[in-house]
Amino acid sequence: MWSILSLPLRLITCNNVVMTKHSRKHQSQRITLSGRDGPCPGGSGKSLPDCCLRPDGTLRITPPDLCPRAPITGLAREGCYLACTGNCSDDLTREHWISETVIEEIGRTISVGGVPWIPVGDRKDVSTNSLTARILCKRHNEAFSPIDAHAGRFMRTLKHIANEISTTAGKPPGESNYLLSGEMLESWMLKVLVGVYFSKNAADPEGPSISRFPLDMQRALKALYDRNWGQRCGLYIVCVPGSQVKSALSLEVMLRCGLSKNMVYGARIVIHGLEFFIIVDDLDGNVLIEEANVVYRPSNLTFENGHQKHRIVLTWEAAGPGRAVTLASYPS
């Protein structure tokens, strides 16, 4: 059994959350089907046959190519964590190591803890502009924009569901569905893992950063660009039967290290009370996640309180049975 070390980073809202104009104007996308030729519920504006409807009748949001547009530049920009691809632009950007589209759904001012620049056990209220680092060139940063936007849409959908279920007075019983890409969320969580690692914002209990634990970037590149994750790697969700999800806006990231192999192998990411694991290295087949109630690449997440039911449908390249879970129930 591998020893496990968690390196925490936590972001939560202050009491006075200020929502941005961006987050107010975007709405969560419900699934409404009006025949095979109707609009796609994925939010593209295209018709179903021209978008997410596959020949077998299932829906899939096709993930974008995360490689920068051709031609390859041949430039390796120092400071860009993807410089090894030889496809950089010359300028580094101040990248939010946790995507701006997600952070701004929490608020303009947030409470931060568990980072090297804040004393252990303390919290500090900071602006979202403080959560940036020069870790990507502009070219690679722009190529990741689609998964950043999709993660923001996931956050807005969770907020919408929490609000709908917590305010059921006068509402008839009903069921709503929302379509998102499991593959894009999986890639985004890997991007968060890599961003927190290279920005050196995960605290090591024995030092200021996690530099003594390497991250296998070849594995990360295969997952990001080829969607080749390897056995037992990818997205997991913890689903304890009967659990309740807190409605407070929050995000928590804890990098996971196998001490015997001295490698960062993944991260625990908690979004809006939902607990995920993203695994990029299987540590030679050893057990990585201690929790018994985990589901690998769930096909949907269902929230219900006995009165209303809201289901987030997650699409994957290879659909499989038995991965639909009733994950949580908000207090009514």
pLDDT above 60: residue 252: yes
- 280 or 103: which leads in pLDDT: 280
Give residue 107's pLDDT band: very low, low, confident or very high (50, 70, 90): confident
Residue 282, CA distances (Å) to 102, 192, 271, 294 in order: 28, 18, 23, 16
How confident is the model over 50-75, as a mean pLDDT?
A: 85
Indicate the pTM of the whole model.
Answer: 0.83
Q: Which residues of 167-186 are buried (b: 16+ CB within 10 A; e: fewer)?
A: ebeeeeeeebbbbbbbbbbb
Residue 1 has pLDDT above 60, yes or no: no
What's residue 68's pLDDT?
Answer: 96
Query: Does residue 91 have a pLDDT over 70?
Result: yes
Angle of the 217-226 helix axis to the 182-198 helix axis, nearest 10: 150
pLDDT in tens, 187-221: 999 999 999 899 888 765 555 456 678 899 999 99
- How many Å apart are CA 299 and CA 48, to the nearest integer? 19
How far CA 255 is from CA of 5, 215, 226, in Å, comes to: 8, 11, 23
**Measured at the alpha carbon of residue 185, what is the angle toward residues 262 and 25, in degrees to the nearest 5?**
135
Share of the chain above pLDDT 70, in %: 72
Chain-wide mean pLDDT for the chain? 76
Tens of pLDDT, residues 271-325: 877 889 999 988 877 756 766 678 889 888 888 777 788 888 898 987 554 465 5
- Transcribe 151-181 into DSSP letters: HHHHHHHHHHHHHHHH--TTPPPEEEEEEEE
38 band by pLDDT with thresholds 50, 70 and 90: low
pLDDT digits (tens, 9 = 90+) for 127-159: 777 788 899 999 999 999 999 999 999 988 888
Q: Facing residues of 93 across strands?
A: 136
Q: pLDDT at position 185, please?
A: 96
Given a contact cutoff of 8 angstroms between Cβ atoms, the answer to whether 59 and 47 are in contact is no
pLDDT band at 23 (very low <50, low <70, confident <90, very high): very low
Q: What is the rounded average pLDDT of the residues 164-179?
A: 77
How many beta carbons lie within 10 A of that of residue 213, not counting itself? 21
High-pLDDT (> 90) share of the chain, %: 28
Query: Mean per-residue pLDDT for 31-51?
Result: 65
Neighbours of 94 (CB within 10 A): 12
Phi and psi (nearest 5°) for 146? -60, -40
**Residue ranges of domains in the chain:** 4-65+96-328
**177 near 311, Cβ under 8 Å?**
yes
Instruction: Name beta bridge partners: 309.
Output: 175, 304
